[in-house]
Chains A and B, each alone.
Chain A
């Protein structure tokens, strides 16, 4: 059974930093691209960032470029999202999602989602 378990969400002040983790099991993590998707309270879904299976390629939504960094540890089957310079509008539930192919070139789709971790940015 595929499992994606996010953690690391917290209340943080504007300008602060947070590191999210997504522990995975039940599939060949090293063979799948992964993404983070967020959902502000009461709002829709917004793709945040993606990383290829090897970690060599990454991409970001314009709204987080230069502030967030996605990475992965294929030896431990964990996906990360380092979030710096947090803003009030980054407040959201952050989901990790398993993609259908190893690369980031086209063929974007999410087979599985985690349960999410809540990030609140507020003073």
Chain B
């Protein structure tokens, strides 16, 4: 199984400041079709997850443009350019290249300082 490792576990951020979350996979996530199936999900308190980024760097409609994804192979990053209060929650990366099973990172909790 592909292991997804996120860091940090907790990320206190000042409003208006940038934030960055790392996600590493135990093997390359490049699919035989040439795409890399690495997504980022946001889970606000008391809500279900929603996808923000798919295939590493494509932002979902409805996801604010302050969110961006980057990376390749086994190393990926989610960045928030300027954190807002509504960004509080837990962020998960997930790989969909080598499955079953689909595997998630352990989550990064973003909170306001």
Enumerate chain A interface residues (CB-CB to B < 8 A): 35, 44-47, 50, 59-62, 95, 100, 104, 106-116
Contact = CB atoms under 8 A, between A and B. Distances in A.
Given A106-B31, A106-B98, 4 more contacts: A35-B102, A45-B104, A47-B101, A108-B97
Interface residues of B, number: 29
Contact of B31 (A59, A95, A107, A113): A107
Given A95-B48, A95-B49, A44 B92 contact: yes
A47 B31 contact: no
Contacts of B32: 106
B51 A108 contact: no
Contacts of A61: 100-101
Contacts of B103: 47
A71 B52 CA distance: 28
